[in-house]
Every structure is written in structure tokens, then in C-alpha cells.
Amino acid sequence: MKTFPYGAVLKVQREYSWADIAERLDRIKQLGLNTVVIWPAVYWWEDRSLPNYPYNTGHRILEYAAAIGLNIVMELAGQITTLEYLPDFVMKDEYFAVNFDGSLYKDKLSYGYVNYFHPEVRQLIAKQFGEIAANYRGYSSLYGYDIWNETMFSSYDQYTLGRFRLWLQQKYQTIERLNASWERVYHDWSQIQYTRWLWASVMPKVDFHQFHKETVGMILKEWSDVVKAADPVHPVLADNVHSMITQDGSYERPQDEWNVAANVDVMGMSFYPKNTPKVMSDVQRWETLTGFHSAATNGEFWVAELQTHLQTLFNPQSVVHPYELKWWNWEAVSHGAKGLMYWMWEPFIKGVQTMGRGLVDTRGRYTPRAETAAEMARIIRENQAEFTTYQPEQPRAAILYDKTSHDFSKAYTEYYKPFIPGSIYLDSIAGLYQALWEQNIAAKFITPEAVLDGSAGQYPVLFISNQINLDDELAGGIADYVSRGGVVIADGKLGEVSDLGILHRDLPGGKLNEVLGYQHADFSPDDLDIELVWNGEPALIVPGYYDRRMLELSGTKPVEVLGRFGDGAPAVLRSRHGAGQIIYLATSLWYGYFREYHPSVARLMSLLAREFQLPLHTITNNELKICTLGGADGLLLFVFNYGQAEIGAEVELNLPGAGANPIQIAGLYSGTKQSGVAVQGVLKLPVTVQGRAVEIFKITVVS
């Protein structure tokens, strides 16, 4: 049976004797964990006369782990570069990354200061990674290699510029096309330099950030190839911090989950919900995990680092309570995580995070958080088959996430911050996700590629929010999706420009405008409230936000006006196309909902949910949050209570294939067992969840 990797990161300190290391491995095993991430994987402080220097300690760890039954992931690139592939005795000034002004990147407080495109740096890393794999590949305890923990790269040097020029040449093919896009007059690709001049065209910034994200994939592929050349058997992993969809602050790293997933065997996430000053809300955690799962190859990812405790000595606000650790773990598992690693096993003993983190205390004693981890270990161990094979159920709603639209929103707001937030695109998506989450509606993020290849068709409803750019190809893909019966619900900006940053003549939507039946006349920041009449329901006053689009019906096709602004202008419009429809809200509705909760917006989402049957399953009290994993023989139902008081409710599970077969219901925490039968494909399950708790039920259809 496949094993669910469940463990912790052990930072091997130079102060540790071999007995200290072995004792820690024993304690990890005794707690019920089965995997240890060892960092670093090379030990420059060892006695140079030892056999296998500087890998002697690594050999002993792998040998001992095999003896006691632990799996080991060797972390090749963490946050202390000088202890890894660039020790001080080989470091040169020219290896530093370069700032935009040409100065060396020496002012970093931690990692991320290396120019990974410098040819000598590439050689040093290739040598180091190849040696690590050659030394460790023969051990039965070796699970694999984490080749890049928390990806990050930025450098304005000549080697990176050379890569950028090649990237531009592949995109534009001719210098004339680039000149037209950038509003420049280059004669040769070699004349292109880094630029932040945006007045004539935003494309230099948009193109650079598209390239910037792809650099991480270029580096990962090179490193992965090196490791696999020495060890083609064991998988390689790499990790991002949270999700590019939810963390606008990660934009400059850069971060791109789809890029990482395409270049490694297993993608991992560093998940720190309580790092200060930005503590994640419940919905932000769910959105982060949904985003990560959406990008993962085959839907599988690890939480490669899960916060165990406070960040450091001076921020007690980041203290982690056992109930929070339980929430975060099961949130990750219920969203498809296939591995969980705690950061870290024990507190830091030096550095900026001194006394931060740890499942155990400074004396190595188990903490209440460790007891929570042990309880989880039991449940995982007893249900390995389900946790390793079940996947999040296919939702009925998808949300379009377009990296290029994010780039455009950043570029267009650059000159006008802080009056116009650079995070407006992600904030719009966050407001939309929150409205879905409040109604217990599962969703998935998809990219334009899914629209173009037709796979978006598996989702009956596609939400599009503040999509600045639409080229003809994507506009055609959206129209095709609708013609086949899909429902598009869009708001805010909709295809103002092409992918080359040129304003469309026909708005909204560019080529998509052909199927809308109305035209853009102007924008206005006034009279934003919308009176909405939906399928005979009492009139609903929905607050618009930020701006409104003033639209004129073109008369080219029938358009149903579902809502109007205070002056009578169309605000919510429905256009039929083929077997489907496009509903357009002519204001930044979800961005407004992100900024401020309003019950009428929540009511609108409930109307949409009912009309388009968005929930997979329902519950009589949406204060409880439900999530499901599906497998060949049933479901795992997770029920979360984020309040302090006990809540009871009834879950209605849609099990269309159950027929009249008996259904077994097992509580994984409570140990209770009961049976039931689905009536017309619906199983009604009463649940009671204590305050700040999680209940998990295994639902098995007995055939």
C-alpha cells in the first residue's frame, strides 16, 4: 500500500553530535511520523578526514533512517546558500545577483542573492547536486530530493538579459513586431536593455514579468536534469510560498505554481497561516489551497513546510494553538495534499528566527502541538488508502486565473499607486472566492489554456473577474465554451486590451463583443447601486463598487437586462449564445465584496448558486464549512467549525450512484459507526462539531 508522507523538517546543526541526531530521529519516529526532510544535505563543517566528506553525516542519517523505518527527503537548496552549493570559500562578488541600478544584491537579510544564470554558479550547483545524488541514491530510506525550497530569483545582470532577449525573440519573431508592441525603434535584439519606461507602452513591464516567472522553470529544469542524470529513480521536489493567486506580495519573487509543477515530480507549498503581520483568515487559507491544488500536476501536491509555532522571539501573535494546527492540516488534506511536513521539528537555536517554530520544546519534550500531530498520524495511518488516492471532487464552478491579466493590472496601476491598488486583480478574485466559500460552493481555478483546449467544458459555470486582456483566440475560446452550454459570469473589466496591450475598438470584450449585444459608452464612479430582479424574487439592491461601465444595447441580438443602476442604465445583462449564456455585471462587484462584506451580494451569490446548481453538497448551517474527497468506493467528508460554540447541522450528500445500496458512515475522530441509505441519490447526515474542531467521516457505498 502507498504511504502518505507525514513528517517534519530537521535542521541539522553543526553543534549536534551523532547521538543528538539519532535521538531526534528516534523521537520523530516515536511520535508516529514517517518522513523527515533533512537540511542541509551537505556538511562542510565535518572533519575533512572523514570518509565521504562532506557527505558523511548524510550517509549516517540515511543508514540509520533505514534501520528504524523512516523515509528521508534531502533538501538541496534551502535558505542558507553558504551551507549548500556556494560555501564562503568559493563565493565571488560576481556570483551575486544584480539590482536594477547595477549594484550587487548584497543587502538581503536572507537567501535569494545568487545569480543562477552566471555560468560558474551553474557549474558549481551542477557539481554539488550531482555529487549529492551520487552519494545518497543507494539508500532504501531515501524518498527523494527537494531541489529548491521556496523558489525565488531576480537579477538584472547581463546573463539574465541574454536570456530575456532570447525569450523576446521567440515571442515576437521579428524586431519590427517587438518595436510595434513596445513603441521602440530597435534595429537588433542585442540593443534591448532592461527598462521601466511605461508611458508609451506597458509591454516592456508585462513581457519582463512573464519572462521573470518563466526563469524559475528554466532553473528548475536544469537542476532537475542534473539530479536525475545521477539518480533517475527518486523524485525531485520544489516548493513555493502559499499561492500566486492569493499572495500579491509574492509577485516579485516571482512565483508561478504552474511553472513549478511542470518541471518537478512533486510540487510543495510553504504554508504559514499565522506569520505576522498578515494572518490568514479562514477563507484565505481555503483559497490558497484551492489555488495550489488547481496548479498541481494530476492534482497532487505536498505541504512541504507547515507552520508549527511562532515566528521568532518577538512576535507572540504568531503563536500556534493545537486546534489551529488541526485545522491547517485537515484543510490541506481535504484540498488534495498528498504529503505534510512540519516546519520544524524543534525551535531554531540561532539566527533571526531564534526560538521560533517547533513541535518539541527546547529540551526536546513533546508539546501539545506534537500531541495533535500524533493524533493525526494515527488517523492517517489507519486510512492510508483513502488519503493517498482520494481526490477533491470535481466542482461545478471554475474561476479564470490569467497570469497575463495579473501582469497587466500591475503595469496599468504602477504610476497611480496607492490611489489604485496594484492588487486589484487578485483582490477581485478573492472577493469572488469568498462569496462562493460562504455558501459552501467548491471551485477550481483554471487558466486560459483550459479554455483554449476545451477542458473548461467540464465546469458548467465559469467566473471571470476584472479580466483586463482578451486576445482573439481566448475570446473565441470563451464564446465556444458558452455555445456548448457553458455559463460565464463576468464582472468589472472585460477584455479592454489585446495581449499586446492595444485597446480594443469593440468593448467590452474585443472579439467576444460579437456575442454580447451591447457596447461600451463610458465609465462612471457615481450611482453604483444596482436594483436586481432575479427570476421573480423580490427586488434586491446590490452595491456596485469602484466604477460602473455605461453600456448601450446595440440591437444586434436580444439582451435581457436583469438589473439597472439608479439612473436606469443597464447594470446586469444576460446574453444567450448557442446553448449557453454570458451574464455580465457592469461594476467591480467582487472587488467591492473583498473590500467590504454586504449581505445583498451574499444573497446574489445564493441566487446564482440555486439557479445554476453550484454546490456539490449542502448543509443546513453554512457556519460549518464542508469539503470532500472522492474515491472509487465513497467519500471523505470534512466538516470544520471555526467558531467557539458547538454547532449541529444536517449535511445533504449527493450520491447519484448509490442507488438503494447500504451506506456505511464512520467517524474517523469519534470512532462512531452508523449506516444509512440515500433517498433519490441524497444521503442526509446529521453532524455535530465542537467549537474550533474538525470532524471527518468516511462514507462508503456497499455494493
> Chunked in runs of 10, what are the mean pLDDT values of the chain (703 residues)?
95 97 99 99 97 97 99 95 94 96 83 93 98 99 98 97 99 98 98 94 98 98 99 98 88 93 97 88 98 91 97 90 98 98 97 92 97 98 96 98 97 87 95 99 98 98 99 99 99 98 98 98 96 90 96 94 97 98 99 97 98 98 98 95 98 92 95 93 97 98 89
Residues of the chain with CATH 2.60.40.1180: 618-701
pLDDT (0 to 100) of residue 658: 87
CATH number of 397-612: 3.40.50.880
Neighbours of 169 (CB within 10 A): 14
Q: d(Cα 339, Cα 627) in Å, to the nearest integer? A: 18
Yes or no: domain 618-701 corresponds to CATH 2.60.40.1180: yes
- Pull the grid cell for residue 447: 487558466
Q: Helix crossing, 282-295 with 322-334: angle to 10°?
A: 30
Nearest of 591, 571, 579, 300 to residue 460 by alpha carbon: 579
Asked if 553 contacts 518 with a C-beta cutoff of 8 angstroms, the reply is yes
This prediction's pTM: 0.97
The residue type of 483 is: S
pLDDT (0 to 100) of residue 259: 96
Residues of the chain with CATH 3.20.20.80: 6-392
The residue type of 235 is: P
Q: d(Cα 458, Cα 699) in Å, to the nearest integer? A: 25
Nearest of 208, 213, 211, 187 to residue 197 by alpha carbon: 208
Neighbours of 474 (CB within 10 A): 24
Q: d(Cα 78, Cα 90) in Å, to the nearest integer? A: 18
Asked if 256 contacts 229 with a C-beta cutoff of 8 angstroms, the reply is no
- Residues 6 or more apart whose CB falls under 8 angstroms from that of 596 comprise none
Sheet harboring 682-689: ordered strands across? 618-619, 647-654, 682-689
Residues of the chain with CATH 3.40.50.880: 397-612
Q: How far is CA 197 from the centre of its chain?
A: 31
CATH number of 6-392: 3.20.20.80
